[in-house]
């Protein structure tokens, strides 16, 4: 091991070729672990007032202990290692300020004897930035690997180039299975994929974009996408990145709430609000395209007496079975709703008056001929009165048609019930 020989004294450097003050980096001359000389940059770096404050100071007293790799009893051995390659060390200045230095060293002949020439660059600010970036990278990686939503990036050809580990929990795929696949592979409808990319291009980003994805096991989930289009330095589109989350549970709840809001809880058909809302749309379409449309107003005869005699539970069963009977004569395009109590309404699309009367009479006979169930050991039969109205050119609203059907129903009630009446 090469060490500076004994006999080097402080301020004994007189080699004229060693003008350390002209160097732009901090320079320290070390002999036997002691600072023999420094340049002006080193004085400033170690926050000394003058060279005299540093000369004679042991380097061990300045180097952060954890960065001094060998025993404090052999300081020059550690210094000698710095001759091979630059190394980062932490030091404390005379004012106890923390600094990070990039240090390199070489053995130098000084006054005919060996000493250690140390060059140091202050890397404190850069090291702080690197530490901050490293922490940010670690934070991002933890977030990326543990986030519940799925991060994705696709190129301008629609191929997946990056996706987060959450894809396994959400879709059942390993990352290696989906990277490089086309993004459209996961959409059951290719047009959904095209619409998503097109919307991203037009708007630059999308927020809460609804979609459906196919899982590895063949099932489907509802998703919500937030993403933005990516452009290169030339302004050319090169892909889309974003996140999507599983909103299946929310969609199921949403659909169920919508169903509950529009369905009669007893019979399962449209309630009054839903019937009038859907009926208005059919009415406007019929008016616009001059399609025939008929409306049947149905009311169970003597329903109050059934409730009074057998109780409301029996009355409810009568309503359920009656609704099921009416459905037997309905087409898929027809609309059936309960307006309230024992009053129901059936809207028949593309149906003229004659055909509507025929449907109404079939319903009347079906209800009259069936025994709903036995109560108190007695067969329970019911009848229905029906009023029929058709759409006219002068009708401005659906309510106009309903009013005429209601008048026809009243006529059926006053004509002995269990009959069909259609007023002109």
The rounded distance, in Å, linking the Cα atoms of 335 and 271 is: 11
Rounded average pLDDT over 262-274? 93
Enter the pTM of the model. 0.53
| Residue 386 zone, left/alpha/beta (φ > 0; ψ -120 to 50; rest) | beta
204 pLDDT more than 70: yes
71 pLDDT more than 70: no
Predicted local distance difference test score (pLDDT) of residue 131: 81
Taken as a whole, the chain contains a residue count of 424
Mean pLDDT of the chain: 85
User: Which has the closest alpha carbon to 21: 39, 48, 1?
Assistant: 39
The rounded distance, in Å, linking the Cα atoms of 209 and 188 is: 16
Range of weakest confidence among 128-137, 265-274, 380-389: 128-137
80 pLDDT band, cuts 50/70/90, is low
Instruction: Give me the domains of the chain, ranges plus CATH numbers.
Output: 20-127 (3.30.450.20), 147-251 (3.30.450.20), 263-422 (3.30.70.270)
66 pLDDT more than 90: no
pLDDT in tens, 124-135: 888 778 888 888
8 pLDDT more than 70: no
H or E element in which residue 193 lies = helix 190-203
Is pLDDT larger for residue 138 or for residue 71?
138
Antiparallel, parallel or unpaired: β 420-422 and 384-390 = parallel
Is pLDDT larger for residue 202 or for residue 411?
411
Tokens representing residue 202 in the block? 């037009």
Predicted local distance difference test score (pLDDT) of residue 125: 85
Provide the angle, in degrees to the nearest 10, between the axes of the packed helices 312-327 and 303-310. 140
Measured distance between the N- and C-terminal CA atoms of the chain, rounded to whole angstroms: 121
378 burial level (CB within 10 Å; 0-12, 13-18, 19+): exposed
Instruction: Judge contact between 366 and 346, C-beta under 8 A.
Output: no
Tokens representing residue 358 in the block? 């025929």
200 pLDDT more than 90: no
Is pLDDT larger for residue 411 or for residue 255?
411
pLDDT in tens, 154-179: 888 888 888 999 999 999 989 888 87
% pLDDT > 90, the chain: 48
Is 189 in a helix, a strand, or coil?
Answer: coil
Give the sign of the dihedral formed by CA 13, CA 18, CA 23, CA 28. Answer: negative
* Sheet strand arrangement including 87-92: 34-38, 26-31, 113-122, 98-110, 87-92
Rg (CA), the chain: 44
Tokens representing residue 341 in the block? 């109590």
pLDDT in tens, 300-340: 999 999 888 888 888 999 999 999 999 999 999 999 999 99
């Amino acid at each position: 091991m090469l060490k500076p020989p004994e006999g080097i004294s402080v301020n004994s450097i007189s080699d004229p070729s060693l003008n350390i003050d002209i160097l732009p980096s901090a320079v320290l001359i070390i002999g036997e672990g002691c600072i023999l000389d420094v340049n002006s940059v080193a004085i400033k770096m170690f926050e000394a007032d003058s060279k005299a404050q540093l000369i004679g100071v042991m380097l061990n007293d300045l180097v952060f202990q954890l960065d001094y790799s060998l025993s404090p009893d052999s300081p020059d051995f550690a210094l000698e290692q710095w001759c091979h390659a630059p190394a980062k060390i932490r030091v404390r200045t005379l004012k106890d300020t923390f600094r990070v230095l990039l240090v390199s060293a070489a053995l130098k002949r000084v006054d005919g004897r060996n000493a250690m020439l140390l060059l140091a660059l202050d890397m404190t600010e850069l090291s702080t930035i690197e530490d901050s970036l490293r922490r940010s990278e670690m934070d991002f990686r933890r977030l990326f690997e543990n986030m519940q939503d799925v991060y994705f990036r696709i190129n301008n050809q629609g191929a997946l180039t990056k996706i987060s580990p959450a894809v396994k929990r959400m879709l059942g795929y390993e990352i290696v299975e989906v990277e490089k696949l086309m993004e459209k592979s996961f959409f059951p409808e290719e047009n959904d994929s095209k619409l998503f990319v097109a919307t991203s291009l037009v708007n630059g980003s999308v927020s809460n974009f609804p979609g459906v994805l196919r899982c590895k096991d063949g099932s489907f989930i509802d998703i919500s996408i937030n993403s933005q289009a990516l452009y290169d330095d030339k302004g050319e589109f090169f892909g889309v990145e974003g996140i999507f989350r599983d909103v299946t549970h929310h969609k199921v709840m949403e659909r169920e709430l919508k169903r509950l809001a529009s369905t009669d809880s007893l019979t399962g058909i449209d309630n009054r609000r839903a019937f009038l809302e859907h009926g208005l749309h059919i009415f406007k379409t019929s008016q616009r395209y001059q399609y025939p449309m008929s409306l049947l107003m149905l009311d169970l005869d003597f329903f109050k007496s059934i409730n009074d005699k057998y109780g409301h539970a029996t009355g409810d069963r009568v309503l359920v079975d009656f609704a099921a009977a009416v459905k037997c004569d309905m087409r898929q395009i027809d609309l059936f709703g309960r307006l309230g109590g024992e009053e129901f309404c059936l809207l028949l699309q593309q149906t003229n008056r004659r055909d509507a009367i025929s449907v109404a009479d079939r319903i009347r006979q079906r209800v009259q001929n069936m025994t709903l169930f036995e109560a108190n050991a007695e067969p329970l039969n019911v009848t229905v009165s029906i009023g029929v109205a058709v759409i006219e050119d002068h009708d401005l609203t659906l309510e106009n048609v309903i009013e005429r059907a209601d008048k026809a129903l009243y006529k059926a009630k006053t004509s002995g019930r269990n009959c069909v009446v259609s007023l002109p």
